Amino acid sequence: MKVGFLQTSPLFGKKDENIDKAMATIQSLNADLFVLPELFNTGYQFTSREEVLALAERVPDGQTTRAFVKLSKERGMYIVAGLAERENGRCYNSSILVGPDGFIGCYRKLHLFYYEKQWFEPGNRKLAVYDIGKAKVGVMICFDWFFPEVARYLAVEGADIICHPANLVLPYCPQAMITRCIENRVFAVTANRIGTESRSEEPLTFIGTSQIVGPKGEIFYRASTDRNEAMVVEIDPKIARDKNITPMNHLLNDRRFQVVSSRTEDFKNKLGCLRQRL
């Protein structure tokens, strides 16, 4: 299976140009699954809710989703792309998944980063895993990487590949995603952007370094920090289905829910019970 990403430098607010440029690159590529960055069509640094509303689109009947459904059909390709979504006057930082048979799904970013909290509503839908024939794929967006339970949830739900549109500014994510892949035995395709946006007093520089990582932490390709790039690599997604670390250790079945709970109160109670028993 061929999976790839596009690393771009969108021009803020120039949706037509950003969409046309991305589509022209994708037209020349051969891939089964292709991932574009977060907010690839609008740019990132909004300065008001009105601005977000004006640039956001309805899904699936908005401009970008319709264009990518057409492109997916023409190219026989599945595509994940980040955009600002509008629904009933509210905006979400979302990513669509489209394929040769049309629109498949839309993920709304759960963990909003910094000023995104002023512009977007946090995601209000469950994470989902989709069977696209050659693999099962899950989607998370950028800062979701900081919350390991997101990648874990997608792995538990059967994802072979995590598609990860991003607009990274913190430097840690490319290394951290190696761990996300190892601890969940999944592939991850992080599609990031480059460039600087200075639309407020706090300019943001995006770190590039988009990458494709394997279930054992293999970096199949890591992009530059400062160039537009497109890359496609061949992977075998079935490798992600073997969760045995040793013949006696299964990555998911060996978890110790009895004593390790992510809810602090549960954890304290269970620890108290354990102490009493000892």
List the Cα angle 3/111/104 in 5-degree steps. 45
CB 165 within 8 A of CB 95: yes
Q: Pick the catalytic residue: 15, 21, 38, 57?
A: 38
**Which secondary structure element, helix H or strand E, spans residue 35, and what is its range?**
strand 33-35
Helices (H), 104-193: 116-119, 148-156, 173-184
Which residue's CB is nearer to ligand ACM, number 112 or number 235? Answer: 112
| Distance, CA of 190 to CA of 213 (rounded, Å) | 8
CB 18 within 8 A of CB 171: no
Per DSSP, the three-state class of 227 is: coil
Give the shortest CB-197-to-ligand ACM separation in angstroms. Answer: 11
Q: Pick the catalytic residue: 142, 163, 173, 181?
A: 142
CB 32 within 8 A of CB 77: yes
Q: Specify whether 38 is catalytic.
A: yes
Which residue's CB is nearer to ligand ACM, number 77 or number 106? Answer: 106
Q: Specify whether 106 is catalytic.
A: no
Contacts of residue 158, Cβ cutoff 8 Å, sequence gap at least 6: 129, 136
Give the shortest CB-27-to-ligand ACM separation in angstroms. Answer: 27
- CB count in 10 Å sphere of residue 168: 25
Which residue's CB is nearer to ligand ACM, number 72 or number 209? Answer: 209
Helices (H), the chain: 15-27, 49-55, 63-75, 116-119, 148-156, 173-184, 264-277
For the chain, how many residues are written?
Answer: 278
List the Cα angle 82/86/92 in 5-degree steps. 55
Give the shortest CB-111-to-ligand ACM separation in angstroms. Answer: 7
Which residue's CB is nearer to ligand ACM, number 46 or number 113? Answer: 113
Q: Give contact residues for ligand ACM (rule: CB under 6 A).
A: 38, 113, 142-143, 167-169
| Structure token pair of residue 261 | 């709970």
Which residue's CB is nearer to ligand ACM, number 169 or number 235? Answer: 169
Q: Specify whether 142 is catalytic.
A: yes
Which residue's CB is nearer to ligand ACM, number 68 or number 113? Answer: 113
Give the shortest CB-36-to-ligand ACM separation in angstroms. Answer: 14
Q: Pick the catalytic residue: 109, 134, 136, 181?
A: 109
Give the shortest CB-109-to-ligand ACM separation in angstroms. Answer: 7
Give the shortest CB-31-to-ligand ACM separation in angstroms. Answer: 24
List the Cα angle 256/219/176 in 5-degree steps. 45
| Distance, CA of 137 to CA of 142 (rounded, Å) | 16
Catalytic positions, written as ranges: 38, 109, 142
